[in-house]
Chains A and B, each alone.
Chain A
Amino acid sequence: MNMQFLVDGLLTGSMIGLGAIGVTLTYSILRFSNFSHGDLMAWGTYATLMFVGAITALFGKVAPIAPLSFGWPLLLALALGMLFTGGLALLLDKILFQRLRAKGQMIIVVMASFGASMALRSLLEFLFTSSPAYFSRAIQIAKPIGFGIRITPDQIALLLLTAALVTAVHLLMTRSQIGREMRAVSQNIGLARVVGIDVARVVRFTWLIGGALACVAGVMIGVLVQIRPLMGFDMLLPVFAAAILGGIGSIPGAVLGGLIIGLSEAAAVQIFGAEWRAAIAFVILMAVLFVRPIGLFGVGER
């Protein structure tokens, strides 16, 4: 077997894992599976693309950083895009999810997220048409690094970025006050309120973090593959499967689940062919639900 699947799998796994963090957070803190999360990815990517365009218009063409295909404009645009996507998630919560949550029927919220997903995705198609866009059309030469593996500088940079972000979120959840509050709310919302935790603030943070990471995952896809309105929706099944495989509520679990699914997909592409890639997440999902529905790091339902 060609070892190249390791690199491909790690990259896909990083995208899935970053998306799964947002899904697992909304699921454990707000208690619903957000079907519009994939479309937040796509919106974040298009927003970043627009910001890159705006920066280029302001400062002229900026030369990329030595071996990479992108320069500081993309990094700045990514930061702005993360803010935008977090804000979009907050807005969606404010006008839709929050009101339905107040009525206490969580499955109605899931349905609303499904409707919102459809509307968001089609709105992108309306604004940008369904033809793909690209951050850069430059072709990068993949450098051999032994064992028959080749990797481009972009891919190394994005893997490092993922590792840094995941570490940061993990530290935030385990070491900071807001992280402790988020975990408290996910374990017992009533008790959290009793001890004086501002639940509304926790909810806001959850959307901000989830939206920002969705944007990064989308931009990774945009840099490495292409930008399409459907790009996020197509990631939804692997993202959910990763969150469930890792155990709902667990951030290390979501990332590990993402990596497992990414690597399995990449391996399956070599064995069965690329057209069956999307079925892998489903097979893993069904296996987890039959064998260990609480996932790798999950705890029993409370």
Chain B
Amino acid sequence: MEFLAYGAFFLTTALIFSLITLGLNLQWGLTGLFNVGLAGFVAIGAYTSAILTTPDDAARIGGFDLPILLGWLAAMIVAGAVAAVIGAATLRLRSDYLAITTFGVAVVVQLVALNAQGLTGGPFGVGFIPRPFGSLAENPIVFNFANLAIVAVVTLVFFLALEHLARSPWGRVLKALREDEKAAASLGKSARAYRIQAFALGGAIMGLAGAVQAHFIGFIAPENYLPTLTFQVWTMLIVGGSGSNRGAVLGSVLVWAIWVGSGAAVSALVPTDQQARAAALQIVSIGVMLCVILLVRPMGILGGTPKRKAPAEPAAGRP
């Protein structure tokens, strides 16, 4: 029974990662936009929803006690809006500028989360985030499965929507822009406008994932949104195969299983005083894995279909 409850818990976390990875796949896999600060967008969603839905708290602004669904909607809107502004600033420039700027977003969001205590609770974070089935919490199995069901439904809805989008005229324009910007532009498609839309939508999905996770755990703090998160999600997408939504989901579950498994092995086998070092080594091995996959099989497990080409910069980055 405990095993079942844990399985549900594991799968819920993995599916939340899948949702982030789906957002990243829209930005990177479909459109070729490089987001190195996705932890920032996840954090924006999580904090937005937490501030709107928690009960009143004298120590900080917010605590509006709004319904959870409203919090999730707001998380999407705020994270999407931030992504749109970032996109508007950088998407007319070389792709590296977007990478550097998103990196900056993550740094600044982290800074705000840590220091704007009146808004975010500072290093102690926000607690008492309402959980969708809080009343079921006495029975862990029912509770975990109820959570799993919600997260699975949300992920499935976005998976199907993204699959549909990728095949729609809108998605075809994005692919065309990724493969050959000049040809697409000559057909009257505004590269910048389409990219900003895709980047904003991807950011919104990441924000939603952050919010869902916040309500699933019930507590958020700045250290949940460190660059390690960005790195994990990137590895998930690359392992699964960028460009493929199924790959994004599969890669998330697989990498999360490896992560959790190696983490459990570390805490079981390594003496307590050495565990921080072993955890560092765990990140080293994942980083090496990412680089090796990029070298050996850059299209990932499910991304290797011959008709899909790698997202390439036209003529090695020189427009």
Contacts and interface: CB of A to CB of B under 8 A. Distances in A.
Interface in A265-302: 275-276, 278-279, 281-282, 285-286, 289-290, 293, 301-302
A112 B294 contact: yes
A289 B97 contact: yes
A104 interface: yes
A293 B96 CA distance: 12
Nearest to B289: A115
A290 B89 contact: yes
A255 interface: no
Nearest to B115: A275
Contacts of A116: 287, 291
Interface in A100-126: 100, 103-108, 110-112, 114-120, 122-123, 125-126
B311 A105 contact: yes
Interface in A233-286: 233, 236-237, 240-241, 244, 275-276, 278-279, 281-282, 285-286
Please report whether the interface of chain A is mostly helix, strand, loop or mixed according to DSSP.
helix
B281 interface: yes
A56 interface: no
A278 B111 CA distance: 8
B36 A126 contact: no
Given A106-B316, A276-B111, A123 B284 contact: yes
Contacts of B313: 104-107
B32 A119 contact: no
A96 B291 CA distance: 8
A100 B295 contact: yes
Interface residues of A, number: 49
B51 to A, nearest CB: 20
Given A31-B317, A118-B286, A119-B288, 19 more contacts: A31-B316, A35-B103, A100-B294, A106-B313, A106-B317, A107-B99, A107-B313, A108-B310, A111-B34, A111-B234, A118-B227, A119-B283, A123-B284, A126-B280, A126-B281, A278-B111, A286-B101, A286-B104, A289-B90
18 contacts: A31-B317, A32-B317, A96-B291, A96-B295, A106-B95, A107-B32, A108-B310, A115-B287, A116-B287, A118-B284, A122-B282, A122-B284, A125-B277, A126-B278, A275-B115, A289-B89, A289-B90, A290-B89
Interface of A: 27, 31-33, 35, 96, 99-100, 103-108, 110-112, 114-120, 122-123, 125-126, 129-130, 233, 236-237, 240-241, 244, 275-276, 278-279, 281-282, 285-286, 289-290, 293, 301-302
Interface of B: 32, 34, 36, 89-90, 92-97, 99-101, 103-105, 107-108, 111, 114-115, 227-228, 231, 234-235, 238, 276-278, 280-284, 286-288, 290-291, 294-295, 298, 310-313, 316-319
> Would you list the 4 A-B pairs with minimal beta carbon distance, nearest first?
A119-B287, A115-B290, A106-B317, A125-B280
